């Protein structure tokens, strides 16, 4: 279609500019780092001052403010800040289309990331970015000289953040070496006090005796489980004590002491007066797990505070624990003296990282929880067979009540093999494997073709609607259609296009699921028929993961195995099930 002449549309273009000028709805972003204590902060950078400055800027530019996003005590080098993430989500959902900050350092201090947001992400999303003190407003784009200035400021902010970070780390390390406690919370049995400018641990008289009791029970060779059980009867947990200040439990308090917490206490040198700090690597990013540093990097300062336990007792307990890590007692011979010697058990190689075959597959039919596991020998009756035992006690971590269910891994292996053998006895002929694969290929191709036809229809509709929308716009520019009518019609067409595009996403997901499900069923068939051909079935984790969906065990040890697929005449229908 030929373009209209300028003299014919100049008046319309002016009217269009006045009427459909973009309306901006802004979010103000304010951030305050954790570099200094509140008393020494630059007050011009306070959250309130940042907010006030941005509100004034918004009023001057006639911008409506929807919300103020505030991140308190978050580093500018980390973009995984709660309020920042909320703001970006509101941008994606279209709630706001403008961001106002006091200056770019409040937005962030990581050069490459900030440049990416301002120069690529925000223009792509149609977001206006305003930095008040930097005189930056991206409404009309970024000029070349501004782009250079932004880059310089971002580099400076990045270097500043790294420099500050190094200084803070160095300052903390000096304090650690001087015996100052840097941790946020004092260990159970201590409180933090400030003496001569240093944060020092002092004894918490209220629970000091509880700590001594823990170490006494450990010195009497009681296990962490036994200690936890005894403490749970009388004393509140450390978390509950910090929260309420209560030492002794109320009748309705069902919280239990954590075994791992007791284990940590028994190996923590803080209880003999030493401080071991800088054990973990940098934990600024909350999405990443902390890592242990090499022992040579730890900062250890001795005799920094009064110990609750004497050194000899502490070291004796450490020796006892180390021996127990390498030995497990016979169940039937525990604490029995034989031939004048105490039975210390059998030495086993513990592998805590080793996965059990049935991890996250076995459910308790009583309470619905997934079963936990422990590794150890079954006893003399089973020739000291060492394997995993899966069990469920509901919410009872300390085994104070009878187990809901309990089963050994080797018993499950036998049940699975017997089930597969029974399945094979009335199973398919050997040529059934090929028949099933051919059938699956044909049925999946047919289903994908059906979805592809719907996809083509939607694409044609979208193309037609887009042409219609363009024609409506051209008619409006010519003055043949009123603005109000154009808005109504264009909104209607855009909604139709949006609905069709959403359907396309559903169709794409459906095709991916059909292909994935087909691969899984074929893998299931291959593994199953390999078992059928084999003289003996070896149960390993790969076999279990491929064949089994989940297992249910009742309190009477009735085991129900749910396979991932059924290879019957309706196998094709399983391609339609949405993959989870």
Reported as a single tens digit per residue, the pLDDT across 56-77 is 999 999 999 999 999 988 887 7
Span 524-540, pLDDT tens digits: 777 777 776 666 788 88
Return the structure tokens found at 276: 């071991």
**Exposed/middle/buried for residue 184 (C-beta within 10 Å: 0-12, 13-18, 19+):** exposed
Among the four given CATH numbers 3.40.50.300, 3.40.30.10, 3.90.1750.20, 2.60.40.1120, the one describing domain 190-325: 3.90.1750.20
Question: How many Cβ atoms sit within 10 Å of the Cβ of residue 281?
Answer: 12
Q: What are phi and psi of 196, to 5 degrees?
A: 55, 40
> Is pLDDT of 365 > 80?
yes
When mean pLDDT is compared over 4-8, 237-241, 398-402, the highest value belongs to 237-241
Phi-psi region of 62 (alpha: psi -120 to 50; beta: other; left: phi over 0): left
CATH 3.40.50.1390-classified regions of the chain: 25-162
> Is pLDDT of 455 > 80?
yes
Q: What is the rounded CA–CA span in Å between residue 205 and residue 306?
A: 12
Task: Say if CB 298 and CB 277 are below 8 A apart.
Answer: yes
- Grade residue 336 by pLDDT with cuts at 50, 70 and 90: very low
Top-confidence residue, 449 or 154: 449
**Sequence-ordered strand ranges (E) for 24-120:** 25-32, 64-72, 98-101
Task: Say if CB 125 and CB 51 are below 8 A apart.
Answer: no
Q: What is the rounded CA–CA span in Å between residue 542 and residue 527?
A: 9
Q: What is the rounded CA–CA span in Å between residue 189 and residue 212?
A: 9
Return the structure tokens found at 371: 């079963």
CATH 3.90.1750.20-classified regions of the chain: 190-325
Least confident segment among 30-39, 218-227, 485-494: 30-39
When mean pLDDT is compared over 92-106, 169-183, 324-338, 416-430, the highest value belongs to 92-106
**Exposed/middle/buried for residue 355 (C-beta within 10 Å: 0-12, 13-18, 19+):** exposed
Task: Say if CB 128 and CB 98 are below 8 A apart.
Answer: yes
> Is pLDDT of 456 > 90?
yes
What is the DSSP secondary structure assignment for residue 277, as one 8-state letter? Answer: E
C-alpha angle 42/45/46, rounded to 5°? 95
- pLDDT of 516 reads 86
**Exposed/middle/buried for residue 56 (C-beta within 10 Å: 0-12, 13-18, 19+):** exposed
Q: What is the rounded CA–CA span in Å between residue 401 and residue 229?
A: 11
Residue with token string 């509100």: 55
CA of 384: how far to CAs of 96, 219, 370, 433, 455, in Å?
A: 66, 28, 26, 41, 62
DSSP 407-457: EEHHHHHHHHHHHHHHHHHT---TTHHHHHHHHHHHHHHHHHHHHHHHHHH
- Torsion angle, CA of 551/553/558/562, rounded to 10 degrees? -20
Fold that domain 25-162 belongs to in CATH: Rossmann fold (3.40.50)
Average model confidence (pLDDT) for the chain?
Answer: 78
Task: Say if CB 526 and CB 437 are below 8 A apart.
Answer: no
Q: What is the rounded CA–CA span in Å between residue 470 and residue 417?
A: 66
User: What pTM was computed for the model?
Assistant: 0.46
Residue with token string 């076995």: 362
> Is pLDDT of 238 > 90?
yes
- pLDDT of 503 reads 92
**Sequence-ordered strand ranges (E) for 215-316:** 275-277, 299-301
> Is pLDDT of 323 > 80?
no
Q: What is the rounded CA–CA span in Å between residue 318 and residue 321?
A: 5
CA of 440: how far to CAs of 15, 431, 570, in Å?
A: 62, 15, 11
Total residues belonging to the chain: 580
């Amino acid at each position: 279609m030929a373009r209209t002449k300028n003299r014919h549309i100049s008046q319309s273009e002016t009217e269009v500019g006045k009427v459909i000028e973009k309306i901006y709805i802004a979010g103000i972003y304010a951030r305050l780092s954790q570099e200094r204590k509140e008393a020494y902060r630059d007050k011009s950078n306070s959250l309130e001052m940042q907010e006030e400055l941005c509100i004034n800027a918004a009023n001057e530019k006639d911008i409506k403010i929807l919300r103020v996003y505030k991140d308190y005590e978050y580093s500018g080098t980390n973009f995984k800040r709660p309020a920042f993430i909320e703001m970006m989500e509101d941008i994606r959902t279209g709630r706001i289309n403008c961001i106002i900050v006091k200056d770019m350092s409040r937005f962030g201090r990581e050069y490459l990331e900030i440049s990416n947001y301002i120069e690529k992400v925000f223009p792509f999303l149609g977001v206006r970015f305003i930095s008040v003190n930097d005189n930056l407003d991206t409404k009309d784009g970024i000029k070349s000289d501004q782009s250079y200035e932004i880059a310089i400021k971002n580099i400076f902010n990045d270097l500043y953040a790294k420099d500050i970070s190094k200084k803070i780390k160095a300052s903390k390390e000096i304090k650690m070496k001087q015996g100052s406690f840097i941790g946020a919370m004092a260990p159970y049995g201590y409180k933090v006090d400030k003496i001569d400018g240093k944060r020092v641990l002092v004894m918490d008289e209220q629970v000091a005796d509880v700590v001594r009791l823990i170490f006494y029970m450990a010195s009497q060779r009681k296990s962490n489980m036994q200690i936890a059980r005894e403490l749970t009867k009388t004393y509140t947990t450390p978390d509950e004590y910090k929260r309420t200040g209560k030492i002794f439990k109320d009748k309705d308090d069902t919280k239990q002491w954590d075994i791992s917490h007791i284990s940590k206490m028994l190996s923590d040198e803080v209880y003999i007066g030493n401080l071991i700090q800088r054990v973990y690597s940098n934990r600024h990013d909350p999405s990443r797990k902390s890592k242990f540093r090499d022992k040579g990097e730890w900062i250890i300062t001795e005799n920094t505070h009064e110990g609750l336990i004497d050194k000899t007792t502490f070291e004796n307990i450490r020796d006892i624990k180390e021996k127990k890590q390498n030995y497990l007692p016979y169940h039937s011979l525990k604490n029995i003296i034989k031939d004048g010697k105490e039975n210390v058990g059998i030495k086993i190689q513990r592998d805590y990282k080793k996965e059990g075959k049935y991890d996250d597959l076995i459910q308790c039919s009583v309470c619905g929880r997934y079963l936990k596991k422990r590794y150890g020998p079954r006893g003399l009756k089973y020739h000291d067979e060492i394997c995993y035992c899966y069990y469920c006690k509901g919410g009872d971590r300390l085994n104070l009540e009878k187990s809901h269910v309990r089963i050994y891994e080797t018993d499950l292996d036998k049940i699975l093999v017997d089930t597969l053998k029974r399945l094979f006895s009335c199973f398919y002929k050997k040529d059934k494997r090929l028949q099933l694969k051919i059938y699956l290929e044909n049925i999946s191709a047919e289903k994908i073709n059906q979805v592809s036809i719907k996809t083509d229809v939607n694409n044609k509709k979208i193309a037609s609607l887009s042409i219609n929308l363009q024609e409506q716009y051209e008619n409006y520019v010519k003055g043949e259609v009123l603005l109000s009518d154009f808005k109504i019609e264009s909104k209607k067409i855009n909604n139709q296009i949006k609905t069709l595009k959403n359907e396309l996403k559903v169709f794409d997901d459906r095709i991916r699921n059909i292909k994935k499900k087909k691969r899984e069923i074929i893998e299931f068939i291959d593994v199953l028929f390999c078992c059928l051909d084999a003289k003996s079935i070896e149960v390993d984790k790969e076999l279990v993961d491929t064949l089994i969906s989940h297992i249910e065990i009742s309190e009477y040890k009735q085991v129900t195995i749910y396979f991932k697929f059924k290879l019957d005449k309706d196998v094709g229908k399983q391609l339609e099930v949405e993959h989870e």
